Amino acid sequence: MKLLRYGPKGQERPGMLDAGGAIRDLSGVIADLRGEALSPEGLARLAALDPASLPKVAGQPRLGPPVAGMTNFVCIGLNYADHAAETGAAIPKEPIVFLKSLGALCGPNDDVVIPRGSTKTDWEVELAIVIGRTARYVPEAQALDHVAGYTICNDVSEREWQLERGGSWDKGKGFDTFGPLGPWLVTKDEVPDPQDLAMFCEVDGQRMQDGSTRTMIFGVAKLVSYVSQCITLHPGDVISTGTPPGVGLGKKPAPVFLRPGQTMRLGIAGLGEQVQRVVAAE
């Protein structure tokens, strides 16, 4: 299944994408894509529905983040061997974990706002894991039992604030609009191998990132298990799993960063695409 949330910001309704690509309204079935609706039992009930029996949504409404009620927006740094190499960093011995502000969360096609005074705003296409069942001290062998599915995250990053303003990555990752998520939650039954997904990011039509989850250092099961040792994960929580090479910071002979007026397009095989316009902060 492909599950989504549509409508104006703060007023999103739950929906399902049918086989023809039309949005079907789920608000008569569930209140939102949160909590119990994301559990194995909740997803099974949604999968049993006939999409044709659900109201068809007209037009092309705005898409919001595909899950609601998030408690933790977890990110993993330097989790691709080829990305670590382009930045000159050593291969991590354990996952590098940081938190993205919940205020950064936005829809997959919402504008991305460059902060005031920023000259080093960067892109990062990432596979995002959506948690469906509470995970606490989970063994790696059982980790995928706690996963509802997958989506796409653009881990937008302000590199000066991340790397040059006191050493806390969170500062450069948590600006408003720095967490586009979606377009939809693809349930894990439709993603048989999350460690074999092609991914890309373009800026103004120029391919910047062209990678695969095959080069992840720590895979999905390892990450869910690892994070659950220090952070209790709840339904609707997200772990964004790191980015392949091609970020602006790593460009040679000199870094390249985003400017107002540019457009980002990014996608992962089977999970859809995002498109964001880059604008300056007011």
Strands 112-114 and 272-280: parallel
pTM over 0.85: yes
How far is the CA of 187 from the CAs of 66, 83, 154, 270, 279, in angstroms?
Answer: 12, 27, 19, 11, 32
Query: pLDDT-based confidence at 169, cuts 50/70/90?
Result: confident
Query: pLDDT-based confidence at 88, cuts 50/70/90?
Result: confident
Answer yes or no: are the C-beta atoms of 105 and 65 closer than 8 Å. yes
pLDDT score, position 76? 97
- Identify the three-state secondary structure at position 72: coil
Cis amide linkage into residue 253, ω under 30° from 0: yes
Domains and CATH numbers, the chain: 2-53 (no CATH), 73-280 (3.90.850.10)
pLDDT tens figures, 253-278:
999 999 999 999 999 999 999 999 99
String of b and e for 225-235 (b: at least 16 CB within 10 Å)?
A: bbbbeebebbb
